[in-house]
Structure formats: C-alpha cells, structure tokens
C-alpha cells in the first residue's frame, strides 16, 4: 500500500511541474532565459505584458525550481536553474510534437526538423 501512496505522491509532484509548463507565456519566459539571465524589465519588454503578470509567471516557475533569482542593484535577475536538464526536456517535447506532425521550436539552440 505504501508503494501506491508513494507513486501517487510522485505523480502529483510531476503534475505540478507540468502545470508550471502549461502556459505559453511561461514557456516564452523559459525560452528567453535559456539564452541567458534576464531582468524582469527585459522580459516585460520581450513579452509586451505587464510587469505584475511577468512576476506572477516567474513566481510559478521559481516555486517549481525551474528558475532562480538574484538581486543586481534594485533589479531582480532571473536565470534557468538547470539549463541542460530543461533543454533536454524541451528537445524531447519538440520531438514528441514533431512525431505528431507539429513542428515547433521550444529550445533557442535546437530545431525539431
């Protein structure tokens, strides 16, 4: 019985991670962050959405361990916590989508075609 509860717990943890990735704006943020650290202001300019919305998305990504933040003067600078692991996940997603006939680019340095 304990194995089942551990399995269920693990699936809840995984589902929480996938929910963090289920928003197009969060994927765009991660895409930009894979090219290097960005200030919130930079992300606001790239996305053309409000600072509060960008900050909310960053909070979700941070709470799931996908991004980290450091202070630089008065600015907060965000970066991907584990770029190699995230890149591998996004490349796998590109391949899976390509196998289903949807060619998309999720990684800045990689193309599914």
Query: How high is the pLDDT of residue 111?
Result: 46
Indicate if the pLDDT at residue 113 is higher than 50.
Answer: no
Rounded CA-CA distance 37/16 in Å is: 24
**pLDDT greater at residue 96 or residue 34:** 34
pLDDT, the chain, mean: 89
Q: Do 67 and 23 touch, CB atoms closer than 8 A? A: no
Burial of 97 (0-12, 13-18, 19+ CB in 10 A): middle
Q: Binning pLDDT at 50, 70 and 90, where does residue 29 land?
A: very high
Structure-token pair, residue 81? 């916590």
Q: Give the residue among 75, 35, 82, 73 at the shortest CA–CA distance from 54.
A: 75
3 state SS for 40-109: HHHHHHHHCCCHHHHHHHHHHHHHCCCEEEEEECCEEEEEECCHHHHHHHHHHHHHHHHHCCCCCCCCCC
Report if pTM > 0.85: no
Rounded CA-CA distance 61/43 in Å is: 14
């Amino acid at each position: 019985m304990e194995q089942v509860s551990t399995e269920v717990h693990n699936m809840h943890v995984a589902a929480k991670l996938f929910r963090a990735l289920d928003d197009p704006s969060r994927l765009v943020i991660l895409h930009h962050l894979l090219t290097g650290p960005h200030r919130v202001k930079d992300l606001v300019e790239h996305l053309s959405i409000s600072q509060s919305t960008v900050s909310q998305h960053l909070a979700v990504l941070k709470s799931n361990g996908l991004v980290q933040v450091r202070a630089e003067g008065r600015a907060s600078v965000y970066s991907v916590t584990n770029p190699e692991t995230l890149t591998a996940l996004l490349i796998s997603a590109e391949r899976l989508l390509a196998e289903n006939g949807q060619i998309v680019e999720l990684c800045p340095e990689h193309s599914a075609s």
